[in-house]
Amino acid sequence: MIRTLIAFAALIFALPSAEARSERAGELEWSIIIHGGAGVIERGAMDAGTEAAYRAALQDALELGGGMLMDGADGVDVVEAVIRVLEDDPKFNAGRGAVFTSEGRVELDASIMVGHSRAAGAVAGVTGVRNPISLARAVMEHSPHVMLIGDGAESFAAERELETAEQSFFFTERRWQAMERQVERMGLPVPPRPEGAPDPEPVREGALDLMEREHRFGTVGVVVMDTNGITVAGTSTGGTTAKRWGRVGDTPIIGAGTWADQRCGLSATGTGEYFIRFNVAAAICHDANRLMFEQHSFAEAAQIAADRMMERLEADGGDGGIVMLFVGEPIWAMNTPGMYRASWGLGREPYVAIYGDE
């Protein structure tokens, strides 16, 4: 048994990392994959203009990240830059445009992890930092800790002189009205509108129903492999509409919503409680690494591992999806009808999709 374990360990270390693979290929390989949330996103549910706007947002984020990678940018810089753009886009449930808690405020979560070093940073329950992903990076690089929460995270952000924002900055009418509808269903009082928020305005008929379905699991995430062969993953979210009691999902939990190791990087979106219980992000990457020993290609190993986990989650009542890079190979999996997603890399055409059958 000991000899078997030693041989197995030796084989693991002999397998190519993304960096070694890039060097042997003699090219500066790079890869990026993005998601913008998963849910009941079905054909015909969105008008043509809305669908086009989401596709354009994903395309813009993809071009930003891909362009940086082609220019040799560090993977951490790329992940932060792309997620900041998505956090500032009110179409997504992260940063500006995040959902509201039952008390009428945003509470934001984010995390980032670097594969070759296992360096990681995360924040939860942040209310006044414009870009939580930048704060998560600061925790990783400028503190001895991995996760900071609430007031402590805000104090650290002030020390690092990160850009702050009032609650009114994050405000969008459709998110507010979705929260109002949810707290009424829950039998709770509707909180007052945040100070500085615009006057109430009508939301297009059907938009709230669509939003509640498509962004029930709203989150944004990015995974890259830079030209040094280093994999970096990051995730950011506003959580769930009308959440209570300081609820935190999987996004800032390293191993649940975000993971990166020498070969694998993953960002998840879904019912956070299930993703935490199953340690989804790390479990998929570990399974993919193991499956390489069963005569599978990198892409096959990763896809099998991801699909297995999605099936397991669905059987237990957990919904959502993941995007991942495995030795630079882009993989996605979901057990929902759709997921906003995009990918690009050396030798591959840009890919943008919304529906599950794309």
Q: Which residues are marked as active site?
A: 219
Alpha helices in 88-143 (DSSP H): 132-142
Coil, strand or helix at 351: strand
Torsion of Cα atoms, 279 then 280 then 282 then 288, to 10°: 140
CA-to-CA distance for 191 and 214, rounded, in angstroms? 24
DSSP 268-302: EEE-HHHHHHTTHHHHHHHHHHHHGGGT--HHHHH
Q: Which stretch of DSSP H or E encloses residue 99?
A: none
- C-alpha 150: how far from chain center: 20
Contact 97, 175 (CB under 8 A): yes
Q: What DSSP character marks residue 129?
A: B
Contact 113, 232 (CB under 8 A): yes
Q: Go through 92-125 and write b for each residue having 16 or more CB atoms within 10 A of its CB, e for each that does not.
A: bbbbbbbbbbbbbbbbbbbbbbbbbeebbbbbbb
Please give the structure tokens belonging to residue 150. 């609430």
